[in-house]
Chain A
Amino acid sequence: MTDITILSAALGGVIIGLAAGLLLLTHKRVAGVSGIASGLLLPWNAESSWRLWFVLGLIASAPLYRITVGEIVIKLDAPLAVLVVAGILVGYGSRLGGGCTSGHGVCGIARLSMRSIVATLMFMLTAGLTVYIQRHVL
């Protein structure tokens, strides 16, 4: 744990909050990535085009960062079979629960939504338990 990590975490957070705030100002929409991404599935509606552009921007940020700033570290140890299960659970669960880390965890809590506060506590708790069981029990 270094100071630089804390600084970059805080700076990254401010940028995420800024992007979410500007989306609210310009589109009156919450920057919930699970909702935006799943909105790309057919059939399309009036919301689909801005969602597509947001997702394309999100995807483009990684290569642009690599060109302008530098390497992005991605360390992923989980076996593929685990990632398949995890991906399905993340996709299904975030939709059933009405949001994920961005929609509930950032945007929902920022407007003090009780639903989002409960949802965030819930997925933090179960994610923590899952990691605990996987790393320290199994």
Chain B
Amino acid sequence: MIKNLVAGLLGLLFGFGLIIANMTNPSKVLAFLDVSGEWDPSLAIVMASALLTLAAIQRLMDLSPETQTSCDGVKQGIDRKLLIGSTIFGIGWGLSGICPGPALLGISSGLPASYVFLGAMFVGFVIFNRFHQR
């Protein structure tokens, strides 16, 4: 129960980070991706400061990579799935400016577009499960 509560609080913290960084705004994300337009480096700054903070915590707490598990934790090496999946994800991200975290935050936006995207994303998850799992 405590673990669940902590997970909830960390989800809340993560969400606040996304909101403060402005990453919940698709046009902000697209302004980063559009390098030939009036380029906005914000997303790169968000990513850099997030991963440096995380790397510092890992160093301080002596969390070696081996202690980590995730959906990607057991896989090693670069394979076709990684390349094709990332390519497909990139196209969808470029079309919308929305990745999974901000998609979930969109629930409270009240915008029909946010619900359409979120629903479609879960359809994408289901399609993956149908063809690649079990």
Tell me the A residues contacting B by CB distance below 8 Å.
1, 5-6, 8-35, 37-39, 41, 49-66, 72-78, 80, 82-116, 118-120, 122-132, 134-136
Whether B125 and A95, one on each chain, are in contact in the complex, defined by CB atoms closer than 8 angstroms, is yes
Q: How far is A55 from B95 in the complex, measured between Cα atoms in Å?
A: 24
Assuming A38-B125, A128-B33, A130-B91, is B21 touching A11 (CB within 8 A)? yes
- Least CB distance from B111 to A in Å reads 6
Number of A-B residue pairs with CB-CB distance less than 8 Å in the complex they form: 482
- B7: chain A residues at CB < 8 Å are 23, 26-27, 50-51, 53-54, 57
- Least CB distance from B57 to A in Å reads 3
Within 8 A of A (CB), among B54-99: 54-58, 61, 63, 65, 67-73, 75-78, 81-99
- A57: chain B residues at CB < 8 Å are 7-15
Tell me the B residues contacting A by CB distance below 8 Å.
3-28, 30, 33-38, 40-43, 45-58, 61, 63, 65, 67-73, 75-78, 81-101, 103-109, 111-114, 116-129, 132
Q: Can you give 11 A-B contacts (C-beta < 8 A)? A: A6-B42, A18-B13, A22-B13, A24-B63, A26-B7, A28-B69, A58-B101, A63-B108, A89-B89, A96-B84, A96-B128
- A33: chain B residues at CB < 8 Å are 99-101, 104
New contact pairs (12) apart from A17-B57, A91-B123, CB-CB < 8 Å: A13-B47, A13-B48, A18-B54, A19-B11, A60-B11, A61-B11, A76-B98, A76-B111, A89-B124, A97-B88, A119-B85, A130-B33
- B108: chain A residues at CB < 8 Å are 59, 62-63, 66
Q: How far is A87 from B76 in the complex, measured between Cα atoms in Å?
A: 27
- A92: chain B residues at CB < 8 Å are 85, 88, 124-125, 127-128
